[in-house]
Every structure is written in structure tokens, then in C-alpha cells.
Amino acid sequence: MTDIEKHARHVRQNIIKMVYAAQSGHPGGSLSGADLLTDLYFREMDINKDNVDTIERDRFVLSKGHASPLLYAVLCEKGFLSEDQLQGFRQVDSKLQGHPNMNYVSGVDMSTGSLGQGISAAVGMAIANKHIDKNEHRIYCLLGDGESEEGQVWEA
């Protein structure tokens, strides 16, 4: 088993633990992206605790915000969150709510929830990255199948 596979397995385990502890959430949509997001964060993306607060890094937008356990589990695996914090998922006063909020969680690049808005935000980030900041870093976005029919997605 490769290191990426070990990380992905741990991400899936943490997704199940979070949703079970909260007795609420979307495990299917979260589990479906575990391998993809783990590979992005551990093999492709230039993001770590040292560059998280700079524009000189890659960014990720989880357009299907209801799959927040996926993003939180990957951020935990990457060292941005602790496993103790994951157990507060969807609890009152927790920063780990049902949809990610960039104002509360380091490493969350866009607050999402309304389906279709994430890709529009990611496109805007990419344009600003290239034309305003003259930055070569990449912007990644994960959409859900259901939101692909939203007009906003087509326009983005």
C-alpha cells in the first residue's frame, strides 16, 4: 500500500467517524471524493502549513459543500486540523459546520453551500490569479453530479 493509499484510507475512516459522531452529514458524497482529494493534496497541490496564508500556493474549492467531511478529513491528514477537532463536526459552536466556511477553518479557500457557486468562485480565482496577481499557481474545484445542471455552472 502506497503512502497516498494509506492517507486516503485514513481520510475515509475520519469521514465515517465524523458523520457517525454528528449523526448527521453526507457520507456518500464525501467518500466518493476521498481518493481524488487525497491525491490532489498529497501529490499535486502546492499547499502546506507554511504557505497557507499566502497567495503563492494552489487553491481548492469544494463546490459540493455538503461533502465538507471530505475536505475536513483531508485537511486533518495534511496537518491543518486535529482529529479531536473533527469530532466536533456539526456541533454547536464548532468551526466544522455542514458546509465549509473559509472564515473559520485554515485551508478552506472558499465558503460553499449553494450548489453551483463553487465553480464560479474557482473561475474567478483563476482569472485573478493569472491576470491580477500574475501567479502561476493552480485552482482546483470539485463539483457534484447534481449541481452540474445548474445554470451558474454552465455560465462559469
List pLDDT tens digits, range 2-23.
999 999 999 999 999 999 999 9
> Contact 33/111 with Cβ under 8 angstroms?
no
Domains defined for the chain, CATH in brackets: 3-155 (3.40.50.970)
Model confidence, pTM:
0.95
Give the model confidence (pLDDT) of 85-104 as tens digits: 999 999 999 999 999 999 99
Task: Calculate the alpha carbon distances from 60 to 24, 65, 89 in Å.
Answer: 24, 12, 20
- Please state the separation of Cα 58 from the chain's center in Å: 12
How many other C-beta atoms are found inside a 10 Å radius of the C-beta of residue 114? 12
Give the model confidence (pLDDT) of 51-82 as tens digits: 999 989 999 999 999 999 999 999 999 999 99
Quote the DSSP letter at residue 68.
H
